Structure 1
Amino acid sequence: MGERLRARLDRHASCRRGDRRSGADRERGDVRTCGDDRDRGRRCSCSFPRRLPRDDGALECDDAVHRRIPAARDARDGHQRRLGTGPARSGHLPRSVPAPVSRRRRRLTEAVTVVVKFGSSLVTDGRGQIRRSLLGARAAEIGSLMRGSESVVVVSSGAIALGLPRLGFTHRPRALPRLQAASALGQVRLQRAWDTALRREGFEAAQVLLSAPDLAERASYVNARNALETLLKLGVVPVVNENDATATDEITFGDNDALAAQVAVLVRARLLVLLTEVEGVYTAHPAAPGAELLSEGDMAEGLTLGRGSPLGRGGMASKIQAARLAAGAGIPTVIASGRGREVLAPIIAGERLGTRFPGRDSAGASAFRLWLQHVKPAVARLVVDEGARDALVAQGRSLLAVGVVGCEGAFAAGDAVELAEPDGTVFAKGIASAGSAEITGRPRGIEVVHRDRLVLYS
């Protein structure tokens, strides 16, 4: 016991003998520790690795990666300063203190994404042949954007149109199995064409086939988003199409315009471009006398629009609907012609080409709420009383079964349901916590939609 105490006193003496500093050193406020200090039981250290400032700031911490020091929380300073920005001392040259780096500037700048959709009549010539010169021109523009600060996702139709002639069909059949067979055959040709065009620009093309259930279910939706984001980070151009060969309800999401809008929401794109054969949205058929091109999408209300081409299912009506979906999620959308020497560069630069749908303000909307509002389909509609509506909208509460006065359609827990006022006005959508059979009779104590799984329409 005596030997242990003697060794401990020797260590204290060693620290005291080492504290032979000049007055200037002591002026700098160096601090040394003793064995009986707060580090009791730890290895004795003769000095802290950094200086402790006189203004009660926190001990500096050298971040070897970023060469910055987090400021003291006690000082209520939310910024960071570079190392060596302490008070000036005698003998040092005066120099200005670097300005603090704000929290916003500390975030990494994410690459912005543009989603570009190509229609079947733009990709093919109607005889089962690919418009290689057009794909090459657009691939050159995509390559230029990728070499800059943009990331590009391509949504391309054309698989069925390319597969039909190989199977001997001259018109689009109605039978789903034949459409699936044509898509399976034509998708190989479509992907090869994009791969060839993009490789000339030094970029790889990745095939991404999506189906409606992939985006309707949250888990697979997140997996698809992670896959696309990883491809973009690796400098690869994703080429997205509907997985027609496995579709059961219908061959597409309705059409690839809707798919493009949902992909734009999926990747939180800054711009959606829907390319077609005409210059944009017209007041009448473009060939009709007096037809005028609309520069703003808001002017398209009440127009009588034609159907799509024989090779596709879209048409201008579906493009307007897709543009409104994306705009509702805060994504500006342009419907324009895909022909010409330069198409994408002027549109992205903000030039007045085609018909533009400005994005609504969706600042602060989470990815989950964007998915729920614009992607997840509702299978039923619940009519709630005035008290329940007030609790949801004004008080931010959950919907209970006692507040449901009507149900249109059957649903199960996990399905999306729309919420409507007694007059039929839909004001919200949510994920059901209980099935329709459980809320019959308006029982008390049953939660139908939790407030965290609810989105209110503005």
Structure 2
Amino acid sequence: MTSLRAQIASARRIVVKLGTSSLVNEVGELDPAKIDRIVDAIEHRIARGSDVIVVSSGAIAAGMAPLGLKTRPRDLATKQAAASVGQIHLARAWGESFARYGRTTGQVLLTQSDAGSRERARNAQRTIDRLRQMGAVPIVNENDTVATSEMRFGDNDRLSAIVATLISADALVLLSDVDGLYDMNPADPGAQLIDEVRSGNDLHGVQAGDGGVFGTGGMAAKVSAARLATRGGVPVLLTATEKIEDALDAAQVGTVFHTRPESRLNAWKFWALYAADAEGVLRLDEGAVEAVTRGGTSLLAVGITGVEGEFHAGDIVEILGPDSVAVGRGEVAYDAAELASMVGKPTSELPQHQHRAVVHADYLSNYASRL
């Protein structure tokens, strides 16, 4: 057993993400037998002393049959209608299955805007932690009923990575219908399972596909989520739901994704970079981009070439290079109107009250080392 697999096997706090295909039958209806098997494995892990947080897809699929829908809806209003019906059925299915063990479940519905607000993100964290402390299993899902296309996590894989980092999980287990990451379509002859991913170099040449008929997150989304979680310091195991017993036991299945201590982000920087709502944009010249991407350097007014948006001091802003490529994000120290008068000026030419950095290094997170 590798040290990472042993670490996942003994993790105290685990997030387990289930895709829609793991919860429904061939016609897209919730399958109680599938959910019972999942819950059996989770309860076995809980009995070993772990806390388990479930991130569950399936609300839209669960609402399709009751509404007479034969195919997954495409328009936002129908998706939201299906989700509003499906969330009830999904929560009941999880609740009834865990009730076999006398265990209570709690539903936690989140949107991107919830995670994007630092205070609301903290509230979600406190709710999840309190449910754990009281012996209940949190069932987390994106709130598709109110989420708009512009304010979505995109898929529950990304949501699970953000939740895992938010609650300082010891491991994230991503479960779907594929038993691991392959270098090409696993149905193709010669496809090879990738046992572990330590850096972006291990992914060169890998072909990852899109989601299935009932889901939205394909293998590409899962790899992206896995790497997102590892940047927040959470190791990941990716495998099939069919192997959930092995995944939650010795973790000797699927693909593991290593964390990289040298590029790990603290909780604030992770939130700012991957979850926070950006209220404006700062454009930099090439020299400032080089300084910011090196890390440990504050952003000064002299390197800024443009200011966009109506942000206030303390807001999160997107930082772009001269080619409009995203460089990073940070907490800005000035209102947009004041900063506009400072653009391009060296500190020596600014009044004393404007000598502090525009974005201090402690509150600046860059994308440079994300691979």
Normalised by the size of structure 1, how large is the TM-score?
Answer: 0.68
Q: Deviations over 1:411-451 (max 9, x none)?
A: 51244334456677765421223354543351535453234
With 234-243 and 421-430 compared, the bigger mean Cα shift is at 421-430
How far apart in 2 are the matches of 1:185 and 1:218?
Answer: 29
Partner of 1:147: 47
How far apart in 2 are the matches of 1:320 and 1:391?
Answer: 27
Aligned length: 343
How far apart in 2 are the matches of 1:363 and 1:125?
Answer: 41
Instruction: Tell me if the contact between 2:112 and 2:275 (Cα under 8 Å) persists in the aligned partners.
Output: no
Q: Deviations over 1:160-183 (max 9, x none)?
A: 001112212111222111000000
Instruction: Tell me if the contact between 1:176 and 1:250 (Cα under 8 Å) persists in the aligned partners.
Output: no
With 281-290 and 235-244 compared, the bigger mean Cα shift is at 281-290
Say whether residues 1:439 and 2:339 are aligned partners: yes
Partner of 2:7: none
Say whether residues 1:203 and 2:103 are aligned partners: yes
How far apart in 1 are the matches of 2:336 and 2:22?
Answer: 45
Partner of 1:344: 247
Instruction: Tell me if the contact between 1:280 and 1:335 (Cα under 8 Å) persists in the aligned partners.
Output: yes
How far apart in 1 are the matches of 2:228 and 2:93?
Answer: 30
How far apart in 1 are the matches of 2:79 and 2:122?
Answer: 29
Rg larger in 1 or in 2? 1
Instruction: Tell me if the contact between 1:258 and 1:318 (Cα under 8 Å) persists in the aligned partners.
Output: yes
Shift of 1:231: 0.9
Say whether residues 1:310 and 2:213 are aligned partners: yes
Q: Is the alpha carbon distance of 1:388 and 1:259 closer, same or farther for their aligned partners in structure 2, counting shifts above 3 Å?
A: closer
Shift of 1:334: 1.5
SS at the partner of 2:309? Answer: coil
How far apart in 2 are the matches of 1:284 and 1:365?
Answer: 30
Partner of 1:326: 229
Partner of 1:450: 360
More helix, by proportion: 2
Q: Is the alpha carbon distance of 1:116 and 1:249 closer, same or farther for their aligned partners in structure 2, counting shifts above 3 Å?
A: same
Which runs of structure 2 are paired with 1:406-425 in the superposition (5 Å)? 406=306, 410=309, 412-413=311-312, 414-419=314-319
Where structure 1 has 5 or more consecutive residues not aligned to the other structure, the ranges are: 1-110
Partner of 2:8: none
How far apart in 2 are the matches of 1:418 and 1:224?
Answer: 24
Partner of 2:281: 380
* Equivalent residue letter for 1:234: M
- 1:404 is aligned, of 304, 329, 336, to 304
How far apart in 2 are the matches of 1:368 and 1:147?
Answer: 33
How far apart in 2 are the matches of 1:385 and 1:316?
Answer: 35
Q: Is the alpha carbon distance of 1:391 and 1:189 closer, same or farther for their aligned partners in structure 2, counting shifts above 3 Å?
A: closer
Which runs of structure 2 are paired with 1:99-138 in the superposition (5 Å)? 112-138=12-38
Which runs of structure 2 are paired with 1:24-173 in the superposition (5 Å)? 112-173=12-73
Where structure 2 has 5 or more consecutive residues not aligned to the other structure, the ranges are: 1-10
Partner of 1:271: 171
Shift of 1:247: 1.1
How far apart in 2 are the matches of 1:227 and 1:391?
Answer: 36
Which runs of structure 2 are paired with 1:163-242 in the superposition (5 Å)? 163-242=63-142
Partner of 1:89: none
Normalised by the size of structure 2, how large is the TM-score?
Answer: 0.83
Q: Is the alpha carbon distance of 1:288 and 1:266 closer, same or farther for their aligned partners in structure 2, counting shifts above 3 Å?
A: same
State the Cα RMSD in Å: 2.8
Instruction: Tell me if the contact between 1:143 and 1:202 (Cα under 8 Å) persists in the aligned partners.
Output: no
Shift of 1:382: 2.8
With 172-181 and 445-454 compared, the bigger mean Cα shift is at 445-454
With 336-345 and 435-444 compared, the bigger mean Cα shift is at 435-444
SS at the partner of 2:216? Answer: coil
